[in-house]
Structure 1
Amino acid sequence: MTQLDWPEILLRLGTATLAGSAIGLNRDLHGKPIGLKTLGIVGLSTATVVLLAVQFAEPGKVTDAASRVIQGILTGIGFLGAGVIVHESEHFRVRGLTSAACTFLAACLGIVCGTGQWMIVAVALALAFVLLTVGRRIERWLHRMLGGRDERHDVESGPEEHHV
């Protein structure tokens, strides 16, 4: 059994909360339906459950029980993401895909923080911010360069609704 001390617990849970909140801040700043508090809580909650599962493992090992916890988290997050994506109105329309993906990422970062793999957290968070900050501009540039359609493919920011 791994016994974590207070500073390590604070580091793991705090980092998961901050990582999720940072991704949520990006969503907030873009006026999207999920934000800082929600994704901070997603990161914190997933790290909390993984930390509990890791407590019962041998140091440095992920047990079958921890693996099942992680699988359950990722399945549950899928439902939360689906709620962000599909809204019922006249027609069903698909919106919020990036916010749903950010929810999934916040959960994954929470899981990784719970296991204490800091290099993975740092690289994943850095890559996420690159995508969230310049991804849309790169996408538009590539569409122009490769002869793509003029309409936006990013359904969250596009003026047109895509009906399913």
Structure 2
Amino acid sequence: MDPTRMAQGIMTGIGFLGAGVIFKEGLSVRGLTTAASIWITAGIGILMGIGFFLPGILGTLLTLGILSLFRLIEDRVPRQSYAQYYVSFDRHKVMPEDQVRALAIDHGFEIATMSYRITRAGLFEYRMDVRTTKVGRAAGLAKALQNIESVREFRVSTTGT
């Protein structure tokens, strides 16, 4: 049996396993580092298994060093959270757009997109995609919306980081 074919088969199989840990959730993708770690671990295992101890040890040290460095960098980079923000009003009690925008901005959100529509129930609805770097802002916005009498319905749903 050709050892290179065996290594190729292992790496292909591990590649499929790694692909299984990658998830798209809303606007974010998770699991890429885990997938890469699984793949490089298989490669290091092959090196150690065929007796290439120095490259295997060097690969292990480089992998651990790079992952540790990326962890430090990742902890210092501000993360953006995204949310969808819908708020509905009776047609004759619609809050002006500038006030709806100000409400989102006052609660730490930046508005990425905004649209309007009339729902089947006859309500006027603002729809926004918003983002923030501060955790927990959606709860504060939801609480503020509960206290506005003209709001008929609202939804603030986070979509991930």
TM norm structure 1: 0.43
State the structure with more CA Rg.
Answer: 2
Considering fraction of residues, name the structure with more strand.
2
